Structure 1
Amino acid sequence: MIQKLPRYYRDSPQVTELERVLDIQAQGLRSAVTDTLAQLFVDSATWGLDLWEQWTGLPTDHSRPYAYRRSRVTSKLRGQGSTTLAMIRDVAESFANGEVEIEERTAEYTIVIRFVSELGVPPNISDLMDAVNEIKPAHLAVRYEYRFRTWGQVAGLTWGQVGQYTWGEIREEELSGTDRTL
């Protein structure tokens, strides 16, 4: 801003200091506006998550990471309205961070939620179960199916290729440095 002032103001130490302080204040205001706008969206909210949780009726737990709290709010927002298989899939995917398939077994009064893009059990499966139980019709049971790597899938690898991994890692994670993607 000081460059837009007449020369006699630009040479004044008092005006230069005033402009410097005003610039700091303007930057602080821009930052505050940007941060406040971020709270209006669940995916970017931080301190505003308390308000989102209050609005959706969820308990606030500051010990949990933002990603966890955001996924719960998003799940709750997606779970409003009439329950459909697509809604259950959306809720499950918001927790699982991957793709799921939903299968309705009408004769058995069961919904099967199958995790297809990630190996192992999602880390927040109990929260997912709570969210699904809250939106599903009461007369339906829910079954969860997970993918794991089997011995048959690693049978062709040598001990040198998999020796540095635990069985849990081999069963649930991508193996780096091997000739095959499992």
Structure 2
Amino acid sequence: MITSPKGKEMIKQITPMYQDSKIEKAIYQAIGNEFDNAEYLINELLLQLFPQTATWGLVLWEQRVGLNTNLSETLEQRRRKVITKLQTRYPITPLAMANILKSYTGADINIVENVSPYTFKIKLTGKEGFPSSLNNLYKTVKKIKPSHLSVEYDLISITQSKIFLGTCMTLGEEITVYPWSPQNIQSIGSVNLALGNNTGTEEITVYPKGDD
């Protein structure tokens, strides 16, 4: 039985009378495995050409842009650093800075200019929180911003969750009829009650009439 995807494709191209041969199947299984491995290596190599998808090739990107490799960081963190480094080679504008910081932190960035003389503000809004230390972020901003400008930061972390509330209202009514009540008196009326729930109780106590 052929398990190789490429082997299955190739054996379909030969004469049908040979497709059930054990020898032919073994041959195309072996050839197919080689082609499968070659295809995997080609696709894996293509991923290393871009920092957004690089894995083992990320070390080469870090060397290219002058970053130290820190294997304790996640691939996503290392990719963001490489992308940030690449983007800082171009003239900086508020939009360019926002794109750099977004690729570095993953947060939504809004840059407000001239909040005070020679000062701009960076507002970061994240839905996944922020690292406990933002020193690398501050260093990046210091490196790419114009040297004569100061910067302020607003960090907003949005937490989304669901809260479920349940309420219940219980209403009870008690009517007591005493034996001395005259039987010829009738009371006619209507009572309207508003209930917060469909749960209610009613208790009626009728005492036995004693001897006169």
TM-score by shorter chain over 0.5: yes
Q: 1:101 aligns with which of 110, 113, 125?
A: 110
Cα offset, 1:100, TM superposition: 1.2
Q: 2:146 maps to which residue?
A: 137
Cα offset, 1:57, TM superposition: 1.1
Q: 1:62 aligns with which of 58, 67, 71?
A: 71
In 1, Cα distance between the equivalents of 2:79 and 2:101? Answer: 14
Structure having the higher helix fraction is: 1
State the aligned residue count.
155
SS of alignment partner, residue 122 of structure 2: strand
TM-score (norm 1): 0.75
TM-score (norm 2): 0.65
1:173 aligns with 2:159: yes
Q: 1:28 maps to which residue?
A: 37
Q: 1:79 aligns with which of 78, 88, 94?
A: 88
Q: What code does the residue aligned with 1:130 have?
A: K
SS of alignment partner, residue 76 of structure 1: helix
In 1, Cα distance between the equivalents of 2:91 and 2:139? Answer: 17
SS of alignment partner, residue 12 of structure 2: helix
Question: Structure 2 stretches of 5 or more lacking a match?
Answer: 1-9, 166-212
When structure 1 is superposed on structure 2, of 18-27 and 127-136 the one drifting more is 127-136
Q: What code does the residue aligned with 2:15 have?
A: P
After superposition, the Cα gap between the structure-2 partners of 1:41 and 1:117, relative to the gap in structure 1 and judged at 3 Å, is: same
Question: Structure 1 stretches of 5 or more lacking a match?
Answer: 149-171
Q: 1:110 aligns with which of 95, 119, 123?
A: 119
After superposition, the Cα gap between the structure-2 partners of 1:16 and 1:147, relative to the gap in structure 1 and judged at 3 Å, is: closer
In 2, Cα distance between the equivalents of 1:78 and 1:178? Answer: 45
SS of alignment partner, residue 4 of structure 1: coil
Cα offset, 1:11, TM superposition: 4.5
Q: 1:50 maps to which residue?
A: 59
What is the CA RMSD across the aligned residues, in angstroms? 2.2
Aligned residues of 1:119 and 1:146 also touching (Cα < 8 A)? no
Cα offset, 1:30, TM superposition: 0.6
Aligned residues of 1:2 and 1:10 also touching (Cα < 8 A)? yes
Larger radius of gyration: 2
Cα offset, 1:33, TM superposition: 0.5
Greater RCO (Cα-Cα under 8 Å, separation 6 or more): 1
Q: What code does the residue aligned with 1:138 have?
A: S
Q: 2:49 maps to which residue?
A: 40
SS of alignment partner, residue 147 of structure 1: strand
In 2, Cα distance between the equivalents of 1:178 and 1:93? Answer: 34
Q: 1:168 maps to which residue?
A: none
SS of alignment partner, residue 177 of structure 1: coil
1:14 aligns with 2:59: no
Q: What are the Cα deviations for residues 157-177 of structure 1, in whole angstroms up to 9, with x where unaligned?
A: xxxxxxxxxxxxxxx522222
Structure having the higher strand fraction is: 2
In 1, Cα distance between the equivalents of 2:58 and 2:76? Answer: 10
Q: What are the Cα deviations for residues 111-156 of structure 1, in whole angstroms up to 9, with x where unaligned?
A: 2101135485x226222212111211222222111226xxxxxxxx
Q: What code does the residue aligned with 2:52 have?
A: D
Aligned residues of 2:112 and 2:122 also touching (Cα < 8 A)? yes
